[in-house]
Each structure stands twice: as structure tokens, then as C-alpha cells.
Amino acid sequence: MTTIAPPKVKEFDPASLEKIAYSSVKSIPTKEPNDQYRLGYSVWMFLKERKGTLELAVKNSGSRILIPESEVLSIIKKELKTSGMEL
């Protein structure tokens, strides 16, 4: 019996909306990695659909964040601005 090497993971283009959203939350400490992914997904949905506010997206993500929400928002806004996103 032989095993096959796992398929390679294709990274998103650095200019894609997905990469920008997930990169904007990579420095935010969360209880588990899935909380960070959930937060990144919520930011991506906010950027994609522009429904509600960024504050609402962070709150609705349900992520267990280890720093105050105000700090989270300032980090995400700074990272998005650095990536060239308009809020």
C-alpha cells in the first residue's frame, strides 16, 4: 500500500479581497486559531458586501478575542488602510 503526497495549497493572490481580509486579523490574539479564521471571514464578508459596519462584523463574528474590541478595530482598520482599502 502506498500513500500519495497531499495536494499543494494554492495561496490567494496578495491583492485579493480574501487575502487582505485574513491578513488584517493575523496579529489579533484569539483563544483558538479558528476564532481568528472566523474573524477574518467576518471582515471578508463586510468588505465584500458592505452591509453594516466593521464594528458589527467584529461583534457578530463570535470570535473569542483576547484584547479589547476597540484595539481589534483599530488594528483591523490600520491593516486595511495599509492594504489600500477604503472604509
| pLDDT tens per residue, range 8-17 | 888 778 888 9
Q: What is the pLDDT of residue 25?
A: 95
Contact criterion met (CB below 8 Å) for 12 and 77: no
Whole-prediction pTM: 0.84
Other C-beta atoms lying within 10 Å of the C-beta of residue 19: 16
Q: Is 76 exposed, middle or buried (0-12, 13-18, 19+ CB in 10 A)?
A: buried
Residue ranges per domain, the chain?
17-82
| pLDDT tens per residue, range 37-84 | 999 999 999 999 998 999 999 999 999 999 999 999 999 999 999 998
